[in-house]
Structures are given as structure tokens and as C-alpha cells.
Chains A and B, each alone.
Chain A
Amino acid sequence: MIDKQRNIIDFTLAALLRRKGKNAALLVSYTLVVALLASVMLLTQALRREAGLVLQDSPEMVVQKLVAGRYDLIPLEYRDKIAAIMGVSSVVGRLWGYYYDAGVGANYTIMAPTDSSIAQGAITIGEGIARTRKIGVGDLFPLLGADGQTKLYQVSRLLSSESSLVSADLLLMAEDDFRALFNIPSHLVTDLVLSVGNPSELATIVRKITEALPDTRPVIREDVARTYDALFSWRSGILLVILFSVVLSFLIFAWDKASGLSAEERHEIGILKALGWDTSDVLFMKFWEGMAISFSSFMTGVLLAYIHVFFTSSALFQPVLKGWSVLYPDFRLVPFISPYQIVTLFFLTVVPYTVATIIPAWRAATIDPDAVMRA
């Protein structure tokens, strides 16, 4: 049995090699399509898994204040009111905001850590800021204050480049410096961060907060998790377009096969049958023909995708990932591969192509060779 299949494979490969150019082009384009699709799968999977892990300890609840649909600063008395609600174990006011650096056209996220770990006049910056502004520890960093005055700070620490995915654009400073820079009075904060004693009470506490403070908007940790789980979702936006184009490409590949055999191919199948190949031999030949191309392309495509995403940080996708941002993180990701996705990719690519190669041959393979010979 094995010998018979090997003989059939020899024949199939010899037949494929007859049209080296066409089949080589087919192999290359098929591989590239798989590589594209697999790259998208690997990238999105890696990002989603990392987000899931890293954001596990994000605040249990964040409370924001809205005024006429815009975010507004929250007075600290809201904090006291919330602290009084049963089940809330701690409420802390947070100071953070955005800063647009006109010099480089980048947006920073400026925060004043609640643990007061940063000395006045000093700032800690993320590697994205360091990279964009080309500055390091010890350098002076000017920021334009709300009062029109330029304030100078000294970079005391750089956040690690490994933490780039969460901290690339962070600029941390002391609370007093923050309030002075943005002219925020001491009774106001940007938002409130809560922790609750019993997680199952969360929904109740949310309700109580919105009842007590109707102009607030709570965001719970689960919302954060769901946001990132849905990130790069297949079902929306640009990914849907990519997926659609890829599926269309495969249909075009398969169309060439599925639209039927040429007269020459049918004649050759007739010859094989006349020489004593039975129907299953012919169908196996077609099977190996489909598999040889699609399986090789699939494996090479997956390997290329892996190298692309995890060794070159998705170099080809950078324009899309960066968009119009001047400041972007280092997309060096941890390879979280899902075998489920690889298998799905296999069924999306190898199976349809192989089936499209076999099916049109079915008719020719089953007719009496005499009829095919006369045609």
C-alpha cells in the first residue's frame, strides 16, 4: 500500500514538474496568502493573550464624571460619598491626563502615581517617549503649562522597554507638579479608582454609585477585559476586509481547479485508466496533487508568519499598527500560539484546495476509459 502510494506520488510530482513555472508561481502566491492570514492570526492572538494576562490587576472599578458628554474632573467629595457605600473597601483619587507635545506631534499620557514615589521636579518616562524625543536619564524635559509657562523637569528614570506595551507613552511626575502643570485645584482629581471587598457585590455597588452620583460613569474590570478580548476582533473593521480578501484569493485559486479539467487533463486520466489504473488510484493522484501544493504552502506560510510576527515585530503591518501615531510601542510580543487557530487555518486553506482538485476529476475518473479515449 505504501509502495503504491509512493509510486503514485512519484507520478504526481513528475506531472506537476512539467509546468514548473506555473506551479512555482502557484506555490509562492499560496504561501504568501497563508503567511498573511497566519500573521494576522498570530498577532491578534498574541496581543489578546498578553492583554488578558497583563490587565488582570487593573482597577476593579474606575469612576469618571461626565459633564455635557465630556469628561470632567471629579471633586474629592464624590470620593467621600463613595467611600461611605457599604462594600467599598477603598477609594483613591487618580490624577492623569493627556499632553500634546507640539514639538514632535506626539501624545503622552501623564500620570501622578498615588504612592507619591516620584520626587518633585523629577519625571519617569516610558521608552516610547525616550525614543521619540531622543532623551535619556539626566536630560531636561520641558512641558508647556496651562499658564503658558514652560516648566522644566529632569528625567530621573526610564521605564523598561520590555514594559513598552503598557508604558511606552507614560510620563510620571509628582502630584504637586501635576497640579501645577495643568492648573488643577487640590479638591479635584481626574477619576476615582475603587476596590471592593466582595467581587460579587460589584453590580450592586455600581448601581448605588450611579444612583447617588448620576453624573458619573463607572467602568469595571470586566469591561476592560472584554474590551481587549474583542480587540482585533475578526468580526469588525479592517480585519474583516483582510479576511474577506484572503478568502477571495483562495476561491480564485480553487476556481482554477474546480472549474473543471481541461480536455488534455481528461484525456490523460483516460490514458491512466486504460493502462489499468482504477478510479481510486486516479483520485489518490489528484489528492496528492492538491496536498503537495497546499500542504507545503501551508507549512511554509505558517513558518514565515511566525518569523514575521515574533522576529521582526510584524514589520509588514507596522504602517497599519502605527497609523498616524507619532509615538508607538515596541511590538515585540510573546508568542502565544493557539493550536486551535492553526488547525482552523489548516481547514480554511488546505482542505478546500485539495477538495477542489479532487472533485472535478471525479467524473473523468469514474467513466469507462473507452468513453474518455474516444472524446
Chain B
Amino acid sequence: MTMIELRDIKKVFNAGRPNEFTALYGVSLDIDGGGLTVLKGPSGSGKTTLLSILGCMARPTAGRVLFQDQELTSLPERFLAAIRRQAFGFIFQQFNLIKGLTALENVMIPAYPNGEKRFRIEGRASNLLDAFSLKHKALSNIEWLSGGEAQRVAIARALINDPAVIIADEPTAHLDSRLSREFMEAMLRLKGQGRTVLIASHDPIVYEAAGVERVIEMRDGMVINEAGAA
């Protein structure tokens, strides 16, 4: 079942101005549900831009995005945000946790606009932190967490709304090899739960990991190669 379809996606930044820059030159892609896909390529290849568009964080300049056969490109912002919130979980390169708040509070944030009762959200968040062995750090401010702990909080946050798709952008950029491998194991577990996982990375630990079904190579805003399972 095709989860996400990209048809001829172009993305141009600062259109019409002197610093106009084309990040994507017409990318077409089908992502099936339940697989682990890696976007590989050097920085500037457009993989972060592509991830943003795949995850409804940015709109393409041209082209169409379909998610579960629903056209997203023309949806009003409110609906797009709801879909993004409920169907996608993001893990950012810089983690992007909110300083000054506890790990638990950070994990709960994506669920606030759902309109659920707080105790339910808190319960789920607690369980997630538990699953990542962070129960004892749930009420610590995130500034006091180590790099590995912060990353696990970021993953837990991405899972709070039980999303169908997990998207990670250069997740191992600030991690050592051991933590990088632990990360990939976590991603495999998520795939095992039936989620679709998309990772952008130029780290071999990521794209050569076991369980990666597809490696899509990008360069200069275009897909140049595709490989099956490593």
C-alpha cells in the first residue's frame, strides 16, 4: 500500500530574488507503508527539503503530495497541521527540545492541540519514557540530560500521537557510533510495530544498517539512484 506519493516536486527558495535557490528539481517518489527508507546524499542535496515536504512541514513550489491517497498540497493549514500532528512523528537533527521544560512536558507537547484530557496524555508520555528507560528522568529539565537521553526523549516525543510515519533528519549527526547503532535498533523496533520510517542521512551506520529496505540517493536536488535492501 502506497503511503506517500510525491509527483514531480519542485522546491524553489526566495523565488524572484537575487538569492533564488532551487532545492528540488522535480522529484517523484512512492513510499510504501511499513518500510524503512533512507535518503542518502551529501549536504545540499535536498534531502532535508524533501523530508520537510514529505512530512507536510513545507509546501512544494510545484508538484503534488498525496498521503494515503489524499491530496495534501491544496489543504488549508489547519487540516495540514492536524494531519502532521497525528500521522507524522519528527526527530530533528538538533533534537529541538524546548529548554526549561521537563522531559515529560516535552514529550506531551505534540498532543496538546488534540483536545484530549491531560491525564491521558500524561499517561502515554510516562509509558513512552518508561519504554526508553527514562522514567527516573521524566521530571528533569532537558538541559540536564545527556546526548543519548535527549535523543530518546526526542524519539518518545515523536511517538506521543502514535503516528503512522516516523521521519528523522540526520539523527546520528551528534552521536557517537554506539548511540548511532542504538538509534537504528530503535528505528527497527518502530518498523516492527508497523510504522513507516524515513531517515535522511549520509552516515554509513544508518544506510548500511540491517532492516533498511530502500536507499534513495540524492544529489543536487534530484534522485540519482535507488537501491534495494543492503
Kindly state the separation between the CA atoms of A368 and B116 in the bound complex, as whole angstroms: 25
Residue of A nearest to B78 (CB): A278
Seen from chain A, the residues whose Cβ lies within 8 Å of a Cβ on chain B are: 1, 3-4, 6-8, 10-11, 14-15, 18-19, 268, 271-281, 368-371, 373
B117 at the interface (CB under 8 A from A): yes
Q: Please state if B82 and A4 are interface contacts (CB–CB under 8 Å).
A: no
Q: Please state if B115 and A277 are interface contacts (CB–CB under 8 Å).
A: no
The 11 listed contacts between A and B (C-beta, < 8 Å) are: A10-B112, A18-B101, A19-B100, A268-B98, A275-B157, A276-B82, A276-B85, A276-B110, A277-B81, A279-B78, A373-B52
Interface of A is mostly: helix
Residues of B within 8 A of A373 (CB): 52, 57, 92, 96
Encode B60-96 as 1/0 by CB contact (under 8 A) with A: 0000000000000000011011101110101010001
Q: Please state if B81 and A276 are interface contacts (CB–CB under 8 Å).
A: yes
In the A-B complex, list the 8 residue pairs whose CB atoms are closest, starting with the nearest: A276-B85, A18-B100, A278-B81, A370-B58, A7-B112, A4-B115, A275-B110, A370-B52
Q: Please state if A280 and B112 are interface contacts (CB–CB under 8 Å).
A: no
Total A-B Cβ pairs within 8 A: 88
Residues of B within 8 A of A271 (CB): 96, 98
Residue of B nearest to A268 (CB): B98
Residues of B within 8 A of A370 (CB): 49, 52, 57-58
Given contacts A14-B101, A276-B86, 14 further A-B contacts (CB under 8 A): A3-B115, A3-B117, A6-B118, A8-B112, A275-B90, A275-B110, A276-B81, A276-B110, A277-B81, A278-B77, A278-B82, A281-B113, A370-B49, A371-B58
Q: Please state if B77 and A279 are interface contacts (CB–CB under 8 Å).
A: yes
Kindly state the separation between the CA atoms of A10 and B109 in the bound complex, as whole angstroms: 10
Q: Please state if A280 and B78 are interface contacts (CB–CB under 8 Å).
A: yes
Residues of B within 8 A of A279 (CB): 77-78, 81
Residues of B within 8 A of A10 (CB): 112, 118
Question: Max chain B CB contacts within 10 Å: which of A1, A6, A272, A278?
Answer: A278
Given contacts A4-B115, A281-B113, contact A368 B57 (CB under 8 A): yes
Q: Nearest Cβ distance between residue B201 and chain A, in whole angstroms?
A: 17
Q: Please state if A15 and B101 are interface contacts (CB–CB under 8 Å).
A: yes
Q: In residues 108-144 of chain B, which contact A (Cβ within 8 Å)?
A: 109-118, 121
Residue of B nearest to A9 (CB): B112
Q: Please state if A7 and B121 are interface contacts (CB–CB under 8 Å).
A: yes
Residues of B within 8 A of A368 (CB): 57-59
B161 at the interface (CB under 8 A from A): yes
Q: Please state if A11 and B112 are interface contacts (CB–CB under 8 Å).
A: yes
Residue of A nearest to B157 (CB): A275
Q: Nearest Cβ distance between residue A269 and chain B, in whole angstroms?
A: 11
Residue of B nearest to A374 (CB): B48
Q: Nearest Cβ distance between residue A14 and chain B, in whole angstroms?
A: 6
Residues of A within 8 A of B99 (CB): 18
Q: Nearest Cβ distance between residue A149 and chain B, in whole angstroms?
A: 82
Kindly state the separation between the CA atoms of A284 and B75 in the bound complex, as whole angstroms: 22
Kindly state the separation between the CA atoms of A18 and B106 in the bound complex, as whole angstroms: 13
